[in-house]
Structure 1
Amino acid sequence: MATEPTNVIAGIDTHADTHHVAVINEHGKPLADKEFLAVGSGYRKIVDFITSHGTVSAVGVEGTGSYGAEISRILRGEGLCVLEVNRPNRAARRLKGKSDPLDAYQAAQSVLDGRTKSVPNAKDGPVECLRILRAGRTSALKARTAAINQIKGLLVTAPDKLRAKYRSLGTAAMMTALQRTRPTGHIADPEYVCLLTLKALATRCHSLAAEIATADAALREILDTYAPMLCDLPGVGTEVASQLLVTVGDNPDRLGNEAQFAALVGVAPIPASSGKTIRHRLSRGGDRNANHALYQVVLVRMASCQRTKDYVAKRTAEGKSKREIMRCLKRYAGREIYRQITNPQPAPDNTDLRQMRTALGCTITTAARELGQCPPRFPSWNGASSETTPSPGSTASG
């Protein structure tokens, strides 16, 4: 009598040099565990080890964004379902102890229990290129800022002749002037050494500025090909668009709906009600870099978008604080950007639609019904405060 194939689940505890793999069956019984080198041959052995115990239902991998990135790619290439495992529960770790085999079994068990459902970033497409470019650009920005601060710090204690000549200049003019200097003197002369150092730092700033400009051009080229209409949204530029795409990843289908995206970027409203007080607070979770990107979008819209200004005035009159208003605006912006990422649509020039509809005395529901659209999906914003309305900063306004 032929035996039925065994369904197994694997868990992988990843490290820089080695990965520890554990396999359990569909009932949670441990079958085997083994350590492998984190190299090409080791990855192939991991695949053979996992598949040798039965039909693999899923593989839970720790650190899919770092040490587990390559093994995740290889497992997906083999057609296996890969899920991202979060750090083990600290309370359980204190009770049961910690070791590589225990962590690997814990990863497999979390998949079996349904506590792990996150699909990791694919890291194999144009968004991965954006992430790498942004990493280099961020490093160059920090280095340039450090160099500028060092220049200004040196000028504080520099001889009066240098201070009087350069401290009154703006940053860009100062960098250009210092780079063009030709210091002469003796190596034991403080004024000569100071000017020599200032010239070297200014030259470094110009080099870093050129590096940043090159990265910006590469980012823009990728965005023009991969998401050409994302930057058409108000307040969304190269920096914001690239960061949000990096957060979403090369496989945006891993996000089931817009609410999951809101949680990912830290704009999902968190209930903070008690007694007669009913309110929501800012989310402290999610990708904080993506949250900061949405914050920049909101700042731009509050300064330049008339509808957003009207919305802020309306909510302020209702007694909402600025932080609460910005929380709502970030939620609106997140909804609009998610829709543009998953279903790109050109932003129409319809700035007069709302005024025309108001002049005709036509409600937004009536207009949606006449156009055969569902009112919540009709491309318009009527200033309502509900979380289901489109963004007040959206270009699609009715």
Structure 2
Amino acid sequence: MEEEAATLTSTPRNSDRALVEGEVVLGVDTHRDVHVAAVLSLVGAVMDTRSFPSTAVGYGELWEWVGRLGTVRLAGVEGSSSYGAALSRYLLARRVEVFEVSRPDRSVRRRRGKTDAVDAQEAARAVLSGRARSRAKAGDGPVQCARLLKLTKDSAVKARTQAINPLKAVLITADPGLREELSGLKTTALVRACAQFEGREISDGGPNAVEQATRVVLCLLAQRIEHLSGQMRDVEKRLTELVERHFP
């Protein structure tokens, strides 16, 4: 009761406008497959807590459920940039101010226990009291597009490096004739040369079996590197076009 009274007498600092009668505050503890939501009144009383699937249908059911309890203008979402990103976009599109909420501290968990329902309630309380001040990223528009493209490019760069290293390691153990054939080539030229090796059948136990296997492996690794390099160039082109179009 003391906590509810404190909530009632404090003015939420998350919005320039005051909450009005009939409004409620939403808190959500997000997971990959299920989101647990809690709705609190203006005095911090728990009105209801329920779980919803993290699907388009689930978001719609959550919105309808909240609407039956009151008008929501503020929401606290755990993991608004990960498991809760799609839900945050859904709420923002409905003119709800969404705030990123950290997990409850240890003192709260010792006092109330650790459950998803408690975490959802604490997310709503963090917004109601003003402790949660970091607004969730919109996650839409050109910024999100750039973020996704950057993620793809970074992944391709990492995978390309992981393919170049074994290619050079295989070359070190190759027969002298093959090493001399490729000696002095820079990485780009080396990859191009290896990619042109024929994918011959590897003879079982023949005198040239090791060299044949080496050429096949070098060819496969080089073709993988070229594919990833092409992806990097494509993503870089898309990023450049995005920036020039939206942020000239």
Q: Could you tell me the TM-score, scaled by structure 2's length? A: 0.84
Using the alignment, how far apart are the partners of 1:82 and 1:75 within structure 2?
7
Question: In the TM superposition, what is the alpha-carbon distance from 1:184 to its structure 2 partner?
Answer: 4.7
Structure 1 residues 34 and 183, CA gap change in structure 2 (3 angstroms): closer
Q: 2:41 aligns with which of 17, 21, 25?
A: 25
Q: Is the 8 A contact 1:23 1:105 kept in 2?
A: yes
Q: Is the 8 A contact 1:10 1:23 kept in 2?
A: yes
Letter of the aligned partner of 1:39 in structure 2?
T
Question: In the TM superposition, what is the alpha-carbon distance from 1:186 to its structure 2 partner?
Answer: 3.9
Q: 2:100 aligns with which of 71, 84, 90?
A: 84
Using the alignment, how far apart are the partners of 1:135 and 1:96 within structure 2?
39
Q: 2:109 aligns with which of 86, 93, 104?
A: 93
**Matching residue of 2:31:** 15
Q: Is the 8 A contact 2:52 2:62 kept in 1?
A: yes
1:44 maps onto 2:64 in alignment: no
Residues paired across the two proteins, number: 225
Q: Give runs of aligned pairs for residues 1-398 of structure 1, distance below 5 A.
A: 5-182=21-198, 184=200, 186-188=202-204, 189-228=209-248
What stretches of structure 2 of length at least 5 have no aligned partner?
A: 1-19
What stretches of structure 1 of length at least 5 have no aligned partner?
A: 229-398
**Matching residue of 1:376:** none
Question: In the TM superposition, what is the alpha-carbon distance from 1:183 to its structure 2 partner?
Answer: 5.7
Question: In the TM superposition, what is the alpha-carbon distance from 1:204 to its structure 2 partner?
Answer: 1.1
Q: Is the 8 A contact 1:62 1:86 kept in 2?
A: yes
Using the alignment, how far apart are the partners of 1:94 and 1:201 within structure 2?
54
Residues 97-139 of structure 1: CA distance to partner in whole angstroms, max 9, x if unpaired?
Answer: 2111011001011111211111111112011111121122111
Letter of the aligned partner of 1:212 in structure 2?
M
Structure 1 residues 91 and 195, CA gap change in structure 2 (3 angstroms): farther
For the aligned residues, what is the CA RMSD? 1.8
Q: Is the 8 A contact 1:155 1:167 kept in 2?
A: no
Q: Percent identity?
A: 37
Give the number of the structure with larger relative contact order, counting CA–CA contacts within 8 Å between residues 6 or more apart: 2
Q: Is the 8 A contact 2:73 2:95 kept in 1?
A: no
Structure 1 residues 186 and 27, CA gap change in structure 2 (3 angstroms): closer
Question: In the TM superposition, what is the alpha-carbon distance from 1:180 to its structure 2 partner?
Answer: 2.1
Q: Is the 8 A contact 2:194 2:219 kept in 1?
A: yes
Structure 1 residues 169 and 103, CA gap change in structure 2 (3 angstroms): same
Letter of the aligned partner of 2:105 in structure 1?
N
Letter of the aligned partner of 2:35 in structure 1?
H
